[in-house]
Amino acid sequence: MKKTILKLMVALVVVGLATGCGAKNQNTPAGGKNEPTTTAKAKIKGNCHALECINKIETSATVEDINAIMGFEGTLTDEKYNFYKWEISETESIEAKYYSSKKPTIVANIDNDTIKNNKVDFSRWNELKPLISKGITYDDFITYIGGEQGTLIEKSSSSNKYIWVNANGGYLSASFGASTKKCTFASGRM
């Protein structure tokens, strides 16, 4: 009888360990950046998630350079304008838009829910809005939305576009000159 109970207890412990019972969910963003906060990132195709990839791709990259970073070949989606797309998962992709240039505009497409941040605050939008036409810098811009860094979702040799998503799913995206760091455009649904 004691052996049967001991075997049953050992079996329960093994099942518990195999299924993860009792494991704590940390939900801590990697590196303290605006990255998905799930404990297990979704299965992806290639070497990196969209937000990681966009930071690795230079604005002078060729399609071959991007293929090497991504770990698989992109698909030509627009022959006239020379657009390529790398489908990372059902909710993530990278696009390179060459238009008639050898320097692409790189776009990270993501699900905004993955970067929701309860520290992002749009309550000072009416104060911020008139400053955009005056050329407010990125560092000053973020002081009006809770001091949080934006998530880079688009870059080119001339500008960088960031997005902020609050806890309710409201968002603000803004473009900044690559060299001046001044805001040139902002829009959103706050």
**Rounded to the nearest 5°, which phi and psi values hold at 155?**
-150, 150
How many angstroms separate the Cα of 1 from the Cα of each of 6, 7, 8, 56, 85? 9, 10, 11, 62, 64
Tens digits of per-residue pLDDT, 74-103?
999 999 999 999 999 999 999 999 998 999
With bands split at pLDDT 50, 70 and 90, how would you rate the model's confidence at 106? very high
pLDDT value at residue 19? 33
- % of the chain exceeding 70 in pLDDT: 78
Domain ranges of the chain: 44-110, 113-189
At residue 172, what is the residue type?
L
Tens digits of per-residue pLDDT, 10-68?
343 333 333 333 333 333 333 334 444 433 456 899 999 999 999 999 999 999 999 99
Q: Where does residue 164 rank: exposed (0-12), middle (13-18), buried (19+ CB within 10 A)?
A: buried
SS3 label, residue 125: helix
Residue reference for tokens 């990278």? 94
**Topology given in CATH for the domain delimited by 113-189:** Beta-lactamase Inhibitory Protein; Chain:B, domain 1 (3.30.1450)
- Measured from the Cβ of residue 114, the count of other Cβ atoms closer than 10 Å reads 20
Sign (positive or negative) of CA dihedral 101, 106, 109, 115: negative
